[in-house]
Structure 1
């Protein structure tokens, strides 16, 4: 789905990523690399191969657009370094794009590890009229791109059918990104009449009514 914000074009992808056409920037939030290994360490039954899913989805999105910069809006890695870090490092070294991380609350790995991979780190970043953060931030001067919440929405159909899906949640001056990563869960939000919800299905992003 293509949307316009502040005269800029953004493409919302079903993976949860967003391509900023004019800047050739790919925006992604809450990948939570390492979460599968973290769960397995504590005996939670997740298939080992599940750790590859984030990389597969990322590579698919990267192949779709002419991307010069990748911006992760926080919670890139779930916790401390584990055996998924080597997979992430190997993946990063193959990239030609500039990579930026906006720090999230889960980003506790020492900054020198990211510096060794030529990843830039910021608490927040301003690009033109846009403020990029991890936590949702209200700003009079900027439109805020953020993550953290893992937004979802409950869709109601005929016959009392309900469907819970991830979504992009848009307020007047803010777009909250869905979690890109696997096994992250959702926080289901209740939109008001001034909010716009872009629900994510397997193959597309669709705007849904707040009613």
Structure 2
């Protein structure tokens, strides 16, 4: 389990070796695949429709980060682990399609999440490959929500919860950081989208926790040992 020069953290599990990226993504080197969870594209427009002023460029920055990750990893496959799009169709959906079309050599797949509620024909007419339930990838089970009752021969990678960890800087200051949270053979990814909240997780019950900062991924607990 080692950190690398570009701020990623190479996390070795019995069933897989994962590159945990500071951009809140996972790179699977063997499969040349990039995993992203909870982008929630379209959420800004959804809020604006409700009269809440939120700038659209927050999503454009997320697209730019994906583009940068495709360049830095050389990934040929992107799998979104649910909540790709936040709600009803709006102009952000067409921005997403344009982004996909700008990368014709990349395979884009979506494991449906609870916010992926667009009509079926919209998905069918998109370049996305759809998976209504978990997607098996060797020893990995990719899903939106954590899967119960997993066998020891399966590592579940999922999203949905938007895990965060509260860290005390001193007696008066606390910060919350997005985190990769591992427990019971499930690795829960931090939400990729910037326009998402954080759910504070219990550090004591976790087996491993790796927090993300703009500079790097930092392990604060590994195999039940606090670092």
TM-score (norm 2): 0.88
Q: Does 1:116 align with 2:125?
A: yes
2:4 matched to which residue of 1? none
Query: TM-score normalized by structure 1?
Result: 0.94
Shift of 1:194: 5.0
Pairing of 1:169-208 with structure 2 (within 5 A) = 169-192=181-204, 195-208=207-220
Q: How many pairs align?
A: 211
Aligned equivalents of 1:52 and 1:107: distance in 2? 19
Cα deviation, 1:90-140, whole Å, max 9, x if unaligned, reads 001112211110010000112332232221111111111111110111211
Match of 2:142 among 132, 140, 157: 132
Q: 1:150 to 1:45 in 2, by over 3 A?
A: same
Establish whether residue 55 from structure 1 lines up as the match of residue 67 from structure 2: no
Deviations 1:63-93 (A, max 9, x none): 1102121110000000011011111110011
CA distance in 2, matches of 1:194, 1:86: 39
Q: Do the aligned residues in 1 keep the contact of 2:58 with 2:195 (CA within 8 Å)?
A: no
Change (3 A) 1:162 1:120: same
Q: Look up the SS of the partner of 1:88 in the other structure.
A: helix
Q: What is the root-mean-square deviation of aligned Cα atoms in Å?
A: 1.6
Name the counterpart of 2:30. Answer: 22
1:71-150 equivalences under 5 Å are: 71-95=79-103, 96-122=105-131, 123-138=133-148, 139-140=150-151, 141-150=153-162
Instruction: Indicate if the aligned counterparts of 1:8 and 1:21 stay in contact, CA closer than 8 A.
Output: no
5+ long unaligned stretches in structure 2? 1-8
| Greater Cα shift, 152-161 or 122-131 | 152-161
| Counterparts of 2:127 and 2:91, CA distance in 1 | 20
